[in-house]
Each structure stands twice: as structure tokens, then as C-alpha cells.
């Protein structure tokens, strides 16, 4: 398929590369020039990348970035062809998604929200799980592209439902990780060995995919970003906004948001979100001992 891929960050670069490897004709664009994908053409603007594309796949930071890339100066909307599909793998606001979808529908273009989970490693290995909202027939058309980048697709309903579900998923990731970080901090303060604690967690019902993924990084004190703290913070804020719009109270997540706010003030926004642990450690006056310790 002819695909315009817009946004070559931690996730987008690997995703676009997997589309090329699967034999699709890919043209890439990134706001900051110089990011390349082997085998893909490079366009100077989103509008140029979109010229003649059957599918425009987005993977940018947030709601404002999506709006700018599609509807801004030199945005993709200027050259969308009738019958094209926009697939958005950024995590953004569900209500803004509906507004964007309505705007492009006037041009005969469909919007499929396709946020994903699987992080940097899932993007690299083509094992992402896509959480999708949109018309069945459009999702069907995108299947070869989903297959090149991921291992599973869950259709959650009409356009917007993918983003809504993604927020409900990240709410849990943020809170499960915070529970793990608090447990590690308390146990360390009380003199318990952190490696032993992780082994116990893995052997009991407390275990989780989040802990399984994060524990090795945490125990090696490797906070290089797989999922940057600033992006998880953005997702927490989006979730709280969506909850407010829906008149739902999320007191647990509200508290976690404060921790992200303080971690950002500490200068940790570009580290992995696992670095929220360092704030708890600072308050407790301890440091969780890693594997090598």
C-alpha cells in the first residue's frame, strides 16, 4: 500500500521501518528533519508526504501535534485523496479525535484511531498490540499494515473508542507501576532485599506485565526512556480530562498525577516514567538496591 508515515519518534521510526520491510511504499515526514527510515522516501512537509497516499499513519506526541500535522500549515489535509484513511497511533484525546474525524469526513476521508501498547521493544520487533476505533471495513483495509507492525488488533468500537480504551489502559499502567515503586521504596526502608521482593512478586498473584517489564530496568537503575515520563504524564492528564468530561472521579490517578508533576519539577520528564521511583526514594531517604549491588 502507499503509506505516508508522519512522526519518527521512539515508536514511529521503528513502525515505519517495519512497513518498509513488509514491502509497502512508504514516504516519511518528521518535524525535525534528518530522521530517516531505510527504504522510505522522505517528504519535506506532511502535505507532500500525503500526496497520492492511500493511508496516512500518524505517530506524534499529543493532541496538538496531531492537529498541527493534519490541519496546520502544510498539513496533510491539504492533499488527502478521497477514499484515503488516516490511522492515528498517537495517544490523544478521544473527544478531539471525534472532531478531527468529522472534519476529514467532509473530504471523504476516514479516521481510524489506532493507539498501541508494547513500547519501544514492541515497535522494534513488530509485536505491538493496537487498540482500535473505526468502521470495520476501514480496519479490514488496514490489516496488512497492522500485521507489519503488530501482533494483535482489538477493535473497541467506532472512531474514538480506541483512544478512550487506551486511556483506560494507561490509567492502570501508571497506577500499577506506582504501587510497585511504593512497595520497593517501603520494603527497602524496612531492610528488605529488592531482588528478593521482585522474585516473590513474580511467584504470587501480585505479579503483572508492568512489573515484569519494568523490574529489570529498575533493578539496574536504567531510566533511559522506553516510555518517557513526559508522555505518561500527558496520558494521565488526558485521562483526567476525559474523566471530567464524563463526570467520573478518579482519586487514585489524581494522586499519581501529583507525583508526575513533582517528578517533572525535579527535571526527570525525559527519563522513563519508571524514574518516578526516584522521587519516592528521595522522600524516604533510601535507594532501592539494584542487581549488581
| Inter-CA distances, 142 with 124, 139, 205, 287, Å | 19, 5, 37, 47
36 binds ligand NAP (CB under 6 A): no
Residue whose C-alpha cell is 516473590: 200
User: Among residues 188 and 228, whose Cβ is nearest to ligand NAP?
Assistant: 228
The candidate with the shortest Cα–Cα distance to 8, out of 25, 27, 30, is 30
Instruction: Single out the residue of 9, 150, 160, 162 in contact with ligand NAP (rule: CB under 6 A).
Output: 9
User: What DSSP designation does 292 have?
Assistant: T
Least distance (Å) between residue 45 CB and ligand NAP: 11
User: Among residues 166 and 197, whose Cβ is nearest to ligand NAP?
Assistant: 166
231 binds ligand NAP (CB under 6 A): yes
Instruction: Single out the residue of 11, 16, 181, 198 in contact with ligand NAP (rule: CB under 6 A).
Output: 11
Stretch that binds ligand NAP, among 16-24, 213-221, 223-231, 252-260 (CB under 6 A): 223-231
Contact between residue 112 and residue 87 where contact means Cβ atoms under 8 Å apart: yes
Q: What's the gap between Cα 136 and its chain centre? A: 23
Instruction: For residue 189, indicate whether it is catalytic.
Output: no
Task: Catalytic residue, from 35, 152, 161, 166: name it.
Answer: 166
Looking only at residues 113 through 142 of this chain, which bind ligand NAP when binding is defined by CB under 6 A? 116-117, 119-120
Instruction: Single out the residue of 130, 227, 260, 273 in contact with ligand NAP (rule: CB under 6 A).
Output: 227
User: Among residues 120 and 289, whose Cβ is nearest to ligand NAP?
Assistant: 120
Give helix 251-265 / helix 161-189 axis angle, nearest 10°.
70
174 binds ligand NAP (CB under 6 A): no
Secondary structure in 3-state letters for 48-113: HHHCCCCEEEECCCCHHHHHHHHHCCCCHHHHCCCCCEEEECCCCCHHHHHHHHHHHHCCCCEEEE
Stretch that binds ligand NAP, among 18-26, 65-73, 75-83, 200-208 (CB under 6 A): 65-73
CA angle 288, 292, 293 (to 5 degrees): 50
**Residue 111 grid cell:** 479516521
17 binds ligand NAP (CB under 6 A): no
What DSSP line would sit under 171-183, residue for residue?
Answer: HHHHHHHHHHHHH
The count of residues interacting with ligand NAP (CB under 6 A) is: 27
Instruction: Single out the residue of 28, 47, 59, 149 in contact with ligand NAP (rule: CB under 6 A).
Output: 59
**Residue 187 grid cell:** 520494603
264 binds ligand NAP (CB under 6 A): no
- Going 151 to 157 to 158 to 163, the CA torsion angle's sign is negative
User: What DSSP designation does 72 have?
Assistant: S
Active site positions, annotated: 166
Interface with ligand NAP (CB under 6 A): 7-12, 30-32, 59-62, 64-65, 68-69, 90-91, 116-117, 119-120, 226-227, 231, 235
Amino acid at each position: 500500500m502507499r503509506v505516508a508515515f508522519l512522526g519518527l519518534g521512539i515508536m514511529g521510526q521503528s513502525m515505519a521501518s517495519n512497513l518498509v520491510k513488509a514491502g509497502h511504499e512508504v514516504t516519511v515526514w518528521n518535524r525535525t528533519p534528518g530522521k530517516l527510515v531505510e527504504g522510505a522516501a522522505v517528504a519535506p512537509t506532511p502535505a507532500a508526504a500525503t500526496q497520492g497516499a492511500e493511508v496516512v499513519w500518524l505517530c506524534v506526541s499529543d493532541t496538538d501535534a496531531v492537529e498541527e500535522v493534519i490541519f496546520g500549515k502544510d498539513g496533510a489535509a491539504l492533499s488527502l485523496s478521497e477514499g484515503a484513511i488516516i490511522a492515528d497511533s498517537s495517544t490523544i484525546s478521544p473527544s478531539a479525535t471525534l472532531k478531527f474525524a468529522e472534519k476529514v469526513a467532509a473530504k471523504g476521508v476516514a479516521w481510524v484511531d489506532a493507539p498501541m501498547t508494547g513500547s519501544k521493544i514492541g515497535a522494534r520487533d513488530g509485536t505491538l498490540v493496537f487498540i482500535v476505533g473505526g468502521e470495520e471495513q476501514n480496519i479490514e483495509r488496514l490489516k496488512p499494515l497492522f500485521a507489519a507492525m503488530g501482533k494483535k488488533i482489538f477493535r473497541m468500537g467506532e472512531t474514538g473508542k480506541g483512544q478512550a480504551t487506551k486511556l483506560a489502559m494507561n490509567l492502570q499502567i501508571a497506577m500499577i507501576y506506582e504501587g510497585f515503586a511504593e512497595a520497593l521504596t517501603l520494603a527497602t526502608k524496612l531492610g528488605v532485599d529488592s531482588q528478593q521482593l521482585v522474585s516473590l512478586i513474580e511467584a504470587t498473584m501480585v505479579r503483572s506485565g508492568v512489573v515484569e517489564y519494568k523490574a529489570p530496568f529498575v533493578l539496574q537503575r536504567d531510566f533511559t526512556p522506553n516510555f518517557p515520563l513526559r508522555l505518561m504524564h500527558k496520558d494521565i492528564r488526558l485521562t483526567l480530562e476525559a474523566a471530567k468530561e464524563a463526570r467520573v472521579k478518579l482519586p487514585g490517578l489524581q494522586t499519581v498525577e501529583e507525583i508526575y508533576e513533582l517528578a517533572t519539577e525535579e527535571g526527570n520528564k525525559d527519563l522513563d516514567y519508571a524514574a518516578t521511583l526516584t522521587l519516592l526514594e528521595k522522600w524516604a531517604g533510601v535507594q532501592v538496591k539494584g542487581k549488581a549491588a
